[in-house]
Structure 1
Amino acid sequence: MNLLKLQMVELIEKHKKVTTVADAMGLKQPTVSFHMKNLEQELGVQLFESRSGKVHLTEAGRSLYHYSVKINALAHEAERVVKEYDQLGRGTLKIGASYVPGTYILPRLLSSFTQAYPRIQLSLIVKTAPVIKELLINHEIDLGIMSCEPFQMPPLLGETFCEDELVLICSPGHKLASYPQLFPDQLQSVPFLLHSPESSTRQMTMKWAQSNRIELNGHIELDSLEAIKQVVMLGESISFVSRLAVLREVERGELVFRPIPQNPYKRYVYYAYNLDRRQSALLEGFIQHLLKPVYNINTAR
């Protein structure tokens, strides 16, 4: 079993057609069919089955697909790292970030890094923190930058970049805006905008409510931070968000923020990478760029 056959398994699951797989790999269709049959003979089990003009993986084939994705990603990563090692002047770096650092910290940092190293190609994917961790484990990205609570998830190593303070936001005309200090029971009857269940903000919000024995009036659930801010501006609702995400709106007088009352939970921005991969000079250089004092969370705008 070689890498070529594992690449075929991954592409067959994606395209479901031998002709498309052959085109993607630059091979002829009979060659792909030959390798498919050869792989089944090699493993002694049926991996592929034809239904309605398409090729599908059997249960055994899906098991092999699970490992094919990981092995193909590792092989691609190994090739990149070897080529880029000790060559900070060029290469490719794949970064994953959760919403807050991906939107409010990284754009300025990525721009300055590419200005310093114009031959380096950077790609950024923005997902929830749990998804970013999975991408790191599967070697699909080189570096993850996430807002979340402290975590231990071998083989990932997470280092603290800065604190990401959660605050309560409301419109300037909201009744809570007149209080310099709030108490948990004041939030109980107010319409509350909830983040999506997968977000670290939602998880921390529910932990806060439980610890303070508060039943939040979560009448709307939104998976967009920008949408949450827009609804809060309308006047009735409140929410918990990253302070970094509302600096501009607060400066313009569109939103007001207050410390979350009796909140013992801390959230940080972490940068994390997989210890099972060898760090290239490119990755090390980017981390050093990330840690420059100019990118403090209070000034990154």
Structure 2
Amino acid sequence: MDLKHLHTFKVVAETKGFTKAAETLSYAQSSVTAQIQALEEELQTKLFDRLGKKIILTASGEKLLPYAVKLLEMHDAALNDITSANETPTGTLTIGAPESLAAFRLPAIIKQYTEKYPQVKLALRPGACWELRNLTRSGELDLAFTLETELSDPDLHIETLVIEEMALVAPPTHPLAAFDQLQTEDLRDVTFLHTEPGCSYRSLFEKHLNSRGIFTNTDLEFWSIEAIKNCVMSGLGVSFLPQIAVQNEIESRKLVALPWSDPSCSVATQMVYHPKKWMSPALKEFIEITREHAALWRN
């Protein structure tokens, strides 16, 4: 089997779409389709089913995926072993992160890394924190970043990089913006704009409200932080988001951080990887650069 075809197959499986895979790989969509068709012809089986606009693995595709992951890992390991004499990291790193970290924490890390190691191909996979931990555990991700309460896992190395400040934000004209200090009870009749289900800090915030008898049925749900911020600015409601995601809007007075906080709603940016996974030079260098940036975040 052609490793290039296997890599394309893996990315299609991860992104759940030929168009998204083409964007990730910088290929034409027709090239992605042709590679998958060639692989299916070689294996004499169908690897994906199309359900409307959704792409899912067939039973054969599910069987092939772990082999593809292992073969690509062995390929990268061989490349790195052979080229280790000149200490130049090569290969591919697949990194997972939720939207907030991908947009506001990782860009500086990725910029420094790609400038220093242009031979390494980085593939960034978005996802919910629980999903990213599972993918790291199964070996489909080399490294993941999560944003959730500090936790431990016997199967994973989980390293806290920084405790993130959270902000309950509203437009400057919102009635709650006039309060000197907000109590949780003041949030009883508020419309909240939430991130997608499974988001760690959404779950934490909802659990906090529910524990105080606050249950709302007017909440709105979005899959994009940018969409949430724009809707909050337009006056649709308030939202509980990482400070890093709303800092620019707060500084420009497009949003205000309401005077409310609760230590039980604290979350941390954490770096996650499998302790038994082969630590390639490329992965080692990415981890070290991440730790350098994390030290700056904490100061």
TM range (shorter): 0.7 to 0.9
CA distance in structure 1 between the partners assigned to 2:190 and 2:124 by the alignment: 37
Aligned residue number for residue 166 of structure 1: 166
Q: 1:298 to 1:253 in 2, by over 3 A?
A: farther
Question: Could you report, residue by residue, the CA deviation over 1:104-153 in whole angstroms, capped at 9, with x for unpaired residues?
Answer: 01111111111122222222122221221232123222110111122334
The aligned length equals 261
Please tell me the root mean square deviation across aligned C-alpha atoms, in Å: 3.2
Question: In 1, Cα distance between the equivalents of 2:146 and 2:125?
Answer: 12
The letter of the residue matching 2:69 is: A
> What SS class does the counterpart of residue 191 from structure 1 fall into?
coil
Moved more, 132-141 or 81-90: 81-90
Give the distance between the partners of 2:123 and 2:37, measured in 1 at CA. 26
Amino acid at match of 2:72: H
Change in 2 beyond 3 A, CA 1:189/1:263? farther
* Amino acid aligned to 2:252: R
Note if contact 2:180-2:259 (Cα within 8 Å) is conserved in structure 1: no
Shift of the alpha carbon at 1:276?
3.0
- Unaligned residue ranges in structure 1 (runs of 5+): 15-19, 37-47, 49-60
Contact 2:133 2:144 in 1 (8 A): yes
The amino acid that maps onto 2:145 is I
| Number of the residue aligned with 1:24 | 38
Aligned to 1:93: 93
Q: In 2, are the aligned partners of 1:73 and 1:138 still within 8 Å (CA)?
A: no
- The yes-or-no answer on 1:82 pairing with 2:78 is yes
160-169 vs 130-139, which deviates more? 130-139
Q: Which residue identity does 2:246 align to in structure 1?
A: V
Q: 3-state SS of the aligned residue for 1:241?
A: strand
Alpha-carbon spacing, 1:295–1:88, altered in 2? closer, same or farther (3 Å): farther
Q: What TM-score do you get using the length of structure 2 for normalisation?
A: 0.76
| Cα distance in 1 for residues equivalent to 2:263 and 2:211 | 9
Flag structure 2 segments of 5+ consecutive residues without an equivalent. 14-33, 47-57
Change (3 A) 1:162 1:286: same
Q: Rg bigger for which structure?
A: 1
- Structure 1 residue 205: Cα displacement: 1.5
Contact kept? 2:162, 2:298, Cα under 8 Å: no
Q: CA deviation at 1:254?
A: 0.4
For 2:215 and 2:141, the matched residues in 1 are separated by: 39
Q: Is the 8 A contact 1:188 1:217 kept in 2?
A: no
Distance in 1 (alpha carbons) for counterparts of 2:280 and 2:91: 10
Checking the alignment, whether the CA contact within 8 Å between 1:109 and 1:295 is kept in structure 2 is no
The structure-2 alpha-carbon separation of the partners of 1:190 and 1:142, relative to structure 1 and needing over 3 Å to count, comes to same
2:249 equivalent to 1:249:
yes
Asked whether 1:270 is paired with 2:270, we answer yes
Deviation at residue 217 of structure 1 after TM alignment: 4.9
Distance 2:205 2:293 in 1: 30
